[in-house]
Amino acid sequence: MNTYSIYAGALLFASLHSVSFAANQGNFNPDISLVIDGRFGSYSNTTDYALPGFMLGGEASRGENGYYLGHNELIISANIDDMFYGKLTTAIADHEGETEVELEEAFIETLAMGNGVTIKAGRFYSDIGYLNNQHGHSWDFVDAPLMYRALFGNQLVDDGLQVSWLAPTDTYLKLGVEGLRGGRFPSGGAAKDGKGVNVVFAKLGGDVGVSNAWQLGFSHMSAESNGRAAATHAHSTVTEIPTFYGNSQYNIIDFVWKWSPKGNSRERNFKFQAEYFEREEDGRVDMVNSSPFETSTYQGKQSGGYVQAIYQFMPRWRAGYRYDQLEATNTGSDSGVLDEAGLSVNGHTPKRSTIMLDYSHSEYSRIRIQYAKDDSYADTDNLFFVQYIVTLGAHGAHRF
Amino acid sequence: MKKLIHFIPALIIFTMTTPAMAALNIFACEPEWASLAKELGGERVKTFSATTAYQDPHHIEARPGLIAKVRRADLLICSGAELEVGWLPLLQRQAGNTKVLSNERGYFEASAMVKTLDVPVETMDRTMGDVHAAGNPHVHLDPRRILTIATALNARLAELDPQGKEHYQKRYSDFKQRWQQAITKWQQQASGLKGKRIIVHHRDWVYLFDWLGIEIAGALEPKPGLPTTAGHLVSLKQALKLSPATMIVYTAYQNPRAAKRFSQMTNIPAVELPYTVGGAEQVNDLFSLFDVTIKRLSGERQ
């Protein structure tokens, strides 16, 4: 995480100034938008959050009790010239009393390669899966599906290069490869001289009549970890950090189906979405800072996914349901180490049921309430959220 | 998973359909432009419309089927003036097709060819609703502007497909003659509409009313793009006491409930207008679009 707390205020001020300037000119180039995400959360469990069988990291958490801010983002994007498009996203968040600015995305993308080829370079959300490259503020629920939380710490974002090709066919067919650094969760350590992660993906899609549209995706990721640090709990003065070294193979299938009467989503529309994930891992887990030094071999096999349905039953109002379920089979030479790393299953199958209702006054504002019965770990938790997300500035894109 | 990877190359071959016989592959953002391209291009062009008359062109998603169409297009014809701001830039970025980027000759923006109305004169911000800095984008409802756009489009077609220059010129001259005759006919038919006051659902009708001398008596939307509220209808009714209106109009893609409710409140008839090609059963080209629109505005049941 890049922390530049000193610059946070200055950056925010400078950008807000540009927003008002752009608006007055009636000219949104570059496109600047600011996302404000505020929340109220309530849950009852006091024990630390865990998903038995998975080493958690990144931004995996169940949220906070009471009033708090989520991801506030400042997004600047524009066509750089007739060859490139560029985008920068910074997240501004409070962390333990300090304001942090995190560089979420900073990439350039080609506009004019032609023949369906697009090259993207920089830090970007990987095109793995369906939900991964969508910003948190456009999610249908307050939080990420459990499998995204478990495997990617909510989302896979890394530094690297992507090359994709769109086939010249009536059926949408996009093939892509990504080479990534592997310096961040869930990889870590930038293995193989900073070329530790490779992704391939294929996406198919199309329309069925005027009312239906669909997309089906397959992704595979191969990652080398040279030290994936798990979230830790301090033991008195010394913090032992379970850290994974080894190879991980991921497979994802994702599917989305959207329906609206005569293709007019303004009044009513329906979306079905499902993703299934598999991961196999082979390597070792070290307890960094442990004395005497503890380590264990580790072979993991994890799978799971979610299904969700969102229905806009009248203009502005949407209701949704999501079901998550995960499972893991992990083995290793020292069960104590695996236990510390969160890799012991302890006979529990994590699952969660979530319902939400949201109201969008315009395309720029949304208020949501959400309830989840969360069986992530043995103690069932009841999570309740109220969230408001607003966008100031440029008009957002209507992504599929 | 491995089996699926073998399956992909087979699928590519399968989905490679035979290339179009037409010289130009045209992607129109709205049905009116697909219709105009057909008038001018005839069999030399293959047209596809991204939206139908039943879809709100502001609210379209950049779905896979549309990206695949833009990938193979030689020319995009769109209203512009930010009407498609939510989805067109994304289609252009994702399609990897150099020809149809906004700075290229393969992008034709209809509203840029004519003088637009409703251009905000003072400061603009989001409290004003869905307003467009470049003016009102619904330019196709003025047949005089259609003719100006047709002239520019004819030149563009000949530029992109020089071998078809004579073909396009012949079709354009023919269209121009028939269109001018039709304008004269419509203006005669609509002469009684001049000075009438009509309530609109959304300000889609600015150009039509500007042409026919009709006055907008109010809008059912409190702000452009925002849904109707009960309170707004009450105040609109109040305002009409001073200067009454004779009709409420809405499009096929707008929910008729608001118009019908206001019609009940005020006894003013609510009339659905086709808005674009395909918006009513009889409306299958630009000529029938204006035929039916003027008949319905004149109170004829059609």
Quick one: B175 and B51 in the same domain?
yes
Mean pLDDT of A39-45: 94
Contacts of B12 in chain A (CB under 8 A): 167, 169, 173
Per the CB < 8 Å rule, is B8 touching A117? no
Closest CA to A217 of B34, B51, B4, B29: B4
Quick one: B166 and B221 in the same domain?
no
Phi first, then psi: give them for residue A262, nearest 5 degrees: 55, 25
CATH number of the domain encompassing residue B120: 3.40.50.1980
Closest CA to A197 of A207, A184, A206, A210: A184
Q: Which residue of B has its CA nearest to A111?
A: B93
Quick one: B125 and B163 in the same domain?
yes
Contacts of A214 in chain B (CB under 8 A): 64
> Hunting for tokens 């849950």 — which residue is that?
A43
Q: Point out the domain boundary residue: B120, B154, B185.
A: B185
Give the residues across from A382 on adjacent strands.
A373
Write the pLDDT tens digit of every residue in A358-378. 999 988 999 999 999 999 999
> Residue A165 has what pLDDT?
97
Q: Point out the domain boundary residue: B136, B160, B185.
A: B185
Q: Point out the domain boundary residue: B138, B157, B185.
A: B185
Contacts of B278 in chain A (CB under 8 A): none
Calpha distance B216→B117 (Å, rounded):
13
Residue B2 lies in a domain: no
pLDDT higher for B134 or A106?
A106
In angstroms, the first-to-last Cα distance of chain B is: 57
From A286's Cα to the closest Cα of chain B, the distance in A is: 32
Among A4-13, A173-182, A324-333, B42-51, the range scoring the smallest mean pLDDT is A4-13
Write the pLDDT tens digit of every residue in A281-298. 999 999 999 889 999 999
Hey, of B4, B52, B98, B250, which one would you mutate to test binding to chain A, going by the most A CBs within 10 A of its CB? B98
Quick one: B29 and B134 in the same domain?
yes
> Residue A394 has what pLDDT?
83
Quick one: B118 and B139 in the same domain?
yes
Q: Give me the half-sphere count of Cα atoms (radius 13 Å) on the Cβ side of residue B68.
A: 23
Interface membership of B187 toward A (CB under 8 Å): no
Calpha distance A311→A357 (Å, rounded):
10
Mean pLDDT of A93-109: 88
Contacts of A264 in chain B (CB under 8 A): 54-56, 59, 253
Q: pLDDT band for position A10 (50/70/90)?
A: very low
Quick one: B127 and B257 in the same domain?
no
Quick one: B83 and B175 in the same domain?
yes
From A262's Cα to the closest Cα of chain B, the distance in A is: 6
Full strand arrangement of the beta sheet holding B270-273? B215-219, B197-200, B247-251, B270-273
- DSSP, collapsed to helix, strand or coil, labels residue B162 as helix
Under DSSP, the state recorded for A378 is S
Structure-block tokens of residue B22: 């037409």
Number of domains in chain B: 2
From A174's Cα to the closest Cα of chain B, the distance in A is: 9
Interface membership of B113 toward A (CB under 8 Å): no
Would you tell me which residues 273-312 of chain A have a C-beta closer than 8 angstroms to some C-beta of chain B? Answer: none
Phi first, then psi: give them for residue B172, nearest 5 degrees: -65, -45
Calpha distance B180→B184 (Å, rounded):
6
Hey, of B52, B71, B88, B257, which one would you mutate to test binding to chain A, going by the most A CBs within 10 A of its CB? B71
> Residue A232 has what pLDDT?
65
Per the CB < 8 Å rule, is A172 touching B90? no
Under DSSP, the state recorded for A133 is T
Residue of B15, B96, B253 lying closest to A116 (CB–CB): B96
Quick one: B171 and B202 in the same domain?
no
- DSSP, collapsed to helix, strand or coil, labels residue A262 as helix
- DSSP, collapsed to helix, strand or coil, labels residue B147 as helix
Interface membership of A213 toward B (CB under 8 Å): yes
From B70's Cα to the closest Cα of chain A, the distance in A is: 9
Contact A251, A219 (CB under 8 A): yes
Phi first, then psi: give them for residue A6, nearest 5 degrees: -60, -35
Calpha distance A192→A225 (Å, rounded):
9
**Helix axis angle, B286-297 relative to B165-189, nearest 10°?**
10
Per the CB < 8 Å rule, is B15 touching A218? no
Interface membership of B225 toward A (CB under 8 Å): yes
> Residue A16 has what pLDDT?
40
Q: pLDDT band for position A8 (50/70/90)?
A: very low
Residue B82 CB coordination number (10 Å): 19
From A26's Cα to the closest Cα of chain B, the distance in A is: 5
Per cent of chain A over pLDDT 90 is: 75
Q: Which residue of B has its CA nearest to A392?
A: B126
Residue B14 lies in a domain: no
Residue B242 lies in a domain: yes
Residue B120 lies in a domain: yes
The answer to whether residue A205 scores a pLDDT higher than 50 is yes
> Hunting for tokens 């003072």 — which residue is that?
B122
User: What Cα–Cα distance (Å) separates residue A205 from each residue in A135, A215, A249, A260, B69?
Assistant: 21, 4, 25, 17, 12
Contact A60, A153 (CB under 8 A): yes
Hey, of B61, B90, B105, which one would you mutate to test binding to chain A, going by the most A CBs within 10 A of its CB? B61
Mean pLDDT of A266-291: 95
Residue of A85, A264, A400 lying closest to B56 (CB–CB): A264
The answer to whether residue B221 scores a pLDDT higher than 80 is yes
> Residue B302 has what pLDDT?
46
Mean pLDDT of B278-301: 92
Contacts of B62 in chain A (CB under 8 A): 397-400
Structure-block tokens of residue A96: 């333990």
> Residue A117 has what pLDDT?
96
Quick one: B205 and B161 in the same domain?
no
Mean pLDDT of B20-36: 92
Contact A101, A72 (CB under 8 A): no
> Residue A3 has what pLDDT?
42
Interface membership of B176 toward A (CB under 8 Å): no
Interface membership of A170 toward B (CB under 8 Å): yes
Would you tell me which residues 353-372 of chain A have a C-beta closer than 8 angstroms to some C-beta of chain B? Answer: 361-364
From B134's Cα to the closest Cα of chain A, the distance in A is: 8
Mean pLDDT of A212-233: 91
Contacts of A169 in chain B (CB under 8 A): 12, 15-17, 68
DSSP B10-46: HHHHHH-PPPPSSSEEEEESSHHHHHHHHHHHGGGEE
Q: pLDDT band for position B208 (50/70/90)?
A: very high
Residue of B15, B61, B69 lying closest to A173 (CB–CB): B15
The answer to whether residue A12 scores a pLDDT higher than 70 is no
Calpha distance A365→B86 (Å, rounded):
15
Query: Could you tell me how many residues make up chain B?
Result: 302
Quick one: B79 and B216 in the same domain?
no
> Hunting for tokens 């030094």 — which residue is that?
A293
Interface membership of A267 toward B (CB under 8 Å): yes
Contacts of B95 in chain A (CB under 8 A): 116, 166
Closest CA to A232 of A342, A379, A338: A342
Under DSSP, the state recorded for A209 is T
Helix, strand, coil percent content, chain B, rounded in steps of 5: 50, 10, 40
Phi first, then psi: give them for residue B110, nearest 5 degrees: -60, -45
At the top level of CATH, which class does the domain A41-66+116-121+139-390 belong to? mainly beta
Residue type, B276: T
Closest CA to B299 of B277, B268, B276: B268
Quick one: B173 and B215 in the same domain?
no
Instruction: Provide the domain limits for residue B271.
Output: 191-297
Query: Could you tell me how many residues make up chain A?
Result: 400
Interface membership of B231 toward A (CB under 8 Å): no
Among A110-114, A324-328, B182-186, the range scoring the smallest mean pLDDT is A110-114
Would you tell me which residues 280-299 of chain B have a C-beta closer than 8 angstroms to some C-beta of chain A? Answer: none
Quick one: B265 and B290 in the same domain?
yes
Mean pLDDT of A44-50: 90
